[in-house]
Amino acid sequence: MNDSEKKKSELEKAGEDLLDFAVDREDVKWLMDRLPAQSDINCVKVEYELQMLKIIGVGWSLSYYLANSPQKTKLLEIYWKSINQFSRGISTTTEYMIGQHIDYFQLLKDRLDMYITALTMNPDAPEPALVIGPEFARICGNVDDIFTFMTGSKMFISTINKVKAYLEAIKLR
């Protein structure tokens, strides 16, 4: 196997690992378990949006941490193609369950656009999580709820830190 084939295999493996991490629900469950029971939070909406934020956060992290890497474009392509395929499965399952077509990948793209718009409108924020948290709370319909704000911020920070550590471990960063 030449270096080009080996690097491709490593990138494909990284894409699979990142997909597995993005759709893993353990940290979503962990964060949901820590929301106060007495608060007026739509837990179904928050849980749904947390998973979307995690998927988006992985993609955002790749763009950010690999900004000057020659592997950035290829790894992003592998990751988002995998997410697209995963999304088709969710869309199909949802359609069978509720009888209505939902394009999960389009929903992810819409959420990504919302977060990017929020970041663009707040260029002086000292760190992205201070923008992502309030935007997450707004999307969840709990714009004034500190618990929702913090839950979104925690998911984003945790996701980007884990992706950064993974990229460092596989020597892409």
Structure tokens that stand for 92 in this block: 């199909």
Do 142 and 18 contact (CB within 8 A), yes or no?
no
pLDDT at 22: 98
Taking all residues of the chain, what is their mean pLDDT, rounded to a whole number? 92
pLDDT at 124: 95
Do 54 and 153 contact (CB within 8 A), yes or no?
no
Measured distance between the N- and C-terminal CA atoms of the chain, rounded to whole angstroms: 23
Which regions of the chain are under pLDDT 50?
none
DSSP 21-87: HHH--HHHHHHHHTS-TTS---HHHHHHHHHHHHHHHHHHHHHHHTTT-TTHHHHHHHHHHHHHHHH
Q: What gap in Å lies between CA 131 and CA 140, rounded to an integer?
A: 14
Q: What is the pTM of this model?
A: 0.91
pLDDT at 99: 85
Q: Which amino acid is at 109?
A: K
Q: Which amino acid is at 100?
A: Q
Q: Which of 121, 116, 125, 107 is nearest to 57 (CA)?
A: 116
pLDDT at 3: 60
